[in-house]
Amino acid sequence: MSGYYPVFLELTDRPCLVVGGGPVAEGKVDGLLAAGARVTVLSPVVTKRLAEWAAAGRLRHVARDYRVGDLAGYQLAWVAADERVSAAVAQEGRTRGVWVNAADEPARCDFILPSVIRRGRLVVAVSTGGASPAAARAIREELEAYLTKEHAMLVEVAAEARRDLRARKSAGPARWRGAIDATVRRLVASRRYRQARERLTRRVESA
């Protein structure tokens, strides 16, 4: 039984450290930049893409090996390096209270990364608690075929309706249960977004 608690983190402008400069580290950095984190990459050598991001000012590159003490000032750290470095980073993280993710080493992770699907503002995460990343990836690929642009637009329609209702202070969370019905979904599928929003608003207000 996994002890992991699923959570989405707000990383905008939060200082995050990535130890390592290879393709795995690049993948971590890509996700962190998309989330708006302030990223530092610590590695003597980095991939071409990481170097380009550093040159463009999207991240800070410190071109040397990890040293004990490098986690000071960071809130989260990712390490994609050899086991010796992973062990040292994980140990420092526990000492400083910095959460660490060590690539392919669940025993040294304070948190793990799920397999993610993004459709606009809709984000679906699949995890096996570290038991089988391959299985999580296979399940994600199945869900990718199911989740379409329509699901992303449904989120946008619901967000607009929620914003309008909250501005009028006319509906609480309980009223939303069952409000997104088959008709709302059909209207979204046919790109009749205004009608979908109006129906959704009416259903919530009348609940």
State pLDDT tens for residues 106-135. 889 999 888 899 999 999 999 888 788 899
Asked whether residue 171 carries a pLDDT value surpassing 80, the answer given is no
Is pLDDT of 1 > 50? no
Split at pLDDT 50, 70, 90, the class of 2 is low
> CA 16 to CA 70: how far, in whole Å?
11
Residue ranges covered by each domain of the chain: 15-113, 149-206
Angle at alpha carbon of residue 120, lines to 16 and 183, rounded to 5°: 145
Segment among 13-17, 54-58, 173-177 with least mean pLDDT: 173-177
Q: Whole-model pTM?
A: 0.81
Tokens 């088959």, residue located: 182
Would you say residue 158 has pLDDT above 90? yes
CATH top class, domain 15-113: alpha beta
Mean pLDDT within 86-92: 97
